[in-house]
């Protein structure tokens, strides 16, 4: 039996879809960002809040935990740091405590490229020093540290995945989602945060899930992997693709500056050599992933 926190969310629901093929699954989700329609009907659903409800009973007898629940919006940290702390750090601590008491030894955790901050080495490898510039990135790095300490203190084993921008079916936030919503409100003008030159890696959801399962071949006490594509795409180009797919020619209005928001990292590309050595590589480029994701969201 496997527990998946956040299994009704964007990434979590895709992971559950894969896991139910061979295991019994318990989803724990409070639906703060997840949706009932994303829930796989073959999984058992528990509607609970990791930060406040008694969750211990759901971990008894589990073989492993996929801890995916989090506040996924990086921008929230500058407006409400407490929300990021509670849904990321506190939630992770409570999951680890539930695992410890139930003697569950394996955890798979979804982290983020933002733990690196403004890396000077591009592509950025897993052993690069972490200096996050966002509350979100700091919270995920704190979670990583908690997990690693529990692994060494309580004989657990962890797989930690640092994601580039994951996009595709069921996404409910991010630049593509925002552009589509803005253009539906006003098809004549598109506001683009920053200068549009932000240049980052994007990975399609199926590539991301494949990578997570590939990483399980590693067998260290703590296994850390970057997951991303091998190229980048600029925000301006993403805007152009969204407009192409919508058949619109709006005026682009840039808010200015190199960052879209406080804590935004303008340039990001991850070194994925460690996962490629295990036989995985992404099927889609960043631009291919963006176009597929736009089509997904327009069809949903």
Q: Just list the catalytic residues.
A: 136
CB 191 within 8 A of CB 182: yes
Contacts of 222 by beta carbon, 8 Å cutoff, 6+ apart: 147, 148, 151, 157, 158, 160
Contacts of 219 by beta carbon, 8 Å cutoff, 6+ apart: 157
Residue among 104, 108, 94, 101 at smallest CA distance from 144: 108
To 10 degrees, the CA torsion angle through 16, 212, 73, 293? -80
DSSP calls for 134-203: SHHHHHHHHHHHHHHHHHHHTT-EEEEEEE-EEESTT--SSHHHHHHHHHHH-TTEEEESTTS--EE-EE
Count CB atoms within 10 A of the CB of residue 256: 11
Residue among 119, 104, 80 at smallest CA distance from 5: 104
Each residue of 53-84: b (16+ CB within 10 Å) or e?
eebeebbeebebbbbbbbbbbbbbbeeeeeeb
Residue ranges in 189-282 assigned as alpha helix (H): 205-215, 235-246, 273-276
* CA atoms of 266 and 261, how far apart (whole Å): 10
CB 293 within 8 A of CB 167: yes
């Amino acid at each position: 039996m496997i527990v998946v926190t956040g299994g009704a969310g964007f990434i979590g629901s895709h992971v559950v879809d894969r896991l139910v093929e061979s295991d019994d699954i318990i989803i724990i989700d409070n639906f703060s960002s997840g949706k009932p329609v994303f829930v796989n009907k073959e999984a058992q659903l528990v509607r609970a809040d990791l930060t406040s409800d008694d969750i211990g009973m759901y971990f008894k007898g589990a073989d492993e935990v996929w801890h995916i629940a989090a506040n996924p919006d990086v921008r929230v940290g500058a407006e409400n740091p407490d929300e990021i702390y509670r849904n990321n750090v506190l939630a992770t601590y409570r999951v680890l405590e539930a695992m410890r008491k139930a003697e569950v030894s394996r955890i798979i955790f979804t982290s983020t490229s933002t733990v690196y901050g403004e890396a000077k080495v591009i592509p950025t490898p897993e052993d690069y020093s972490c200096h996050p510039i966002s509350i979100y990135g700091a919270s995920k790095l704190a979670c990583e540290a908690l997990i690693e300490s529990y692994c060494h203190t309580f004989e657990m084993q962890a797989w930690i995945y640092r994601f580039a921008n994951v996009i595709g079916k069921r996404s409910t936030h991010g630049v593509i989602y925002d552009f589509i919503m803005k253009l539906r409100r006003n098809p004549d003008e598109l506001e683009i945060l920053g200068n549009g030159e932000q240049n980052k890696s994007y990975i399609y959801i199926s590539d991301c899930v494949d990578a997570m399962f590939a990483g399980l071949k590693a067998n260290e006490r703590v296994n850390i992997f970057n997951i991303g594509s091998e190229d980048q795409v600029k925000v301006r180009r993403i805007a152009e693709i969204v407009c192409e797919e919508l058949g619109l020619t709006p005026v682009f209005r840039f808010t200015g500056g190199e960052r879209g928001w406080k804590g935004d990292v303008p340039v990001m590309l991850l070194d994925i050599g460690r996962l490629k050595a295990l036989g995985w590589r992404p099927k889609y480029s960043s631009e291919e992933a963006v176009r597929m994701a736009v089509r997904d969201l327009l069809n949903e």
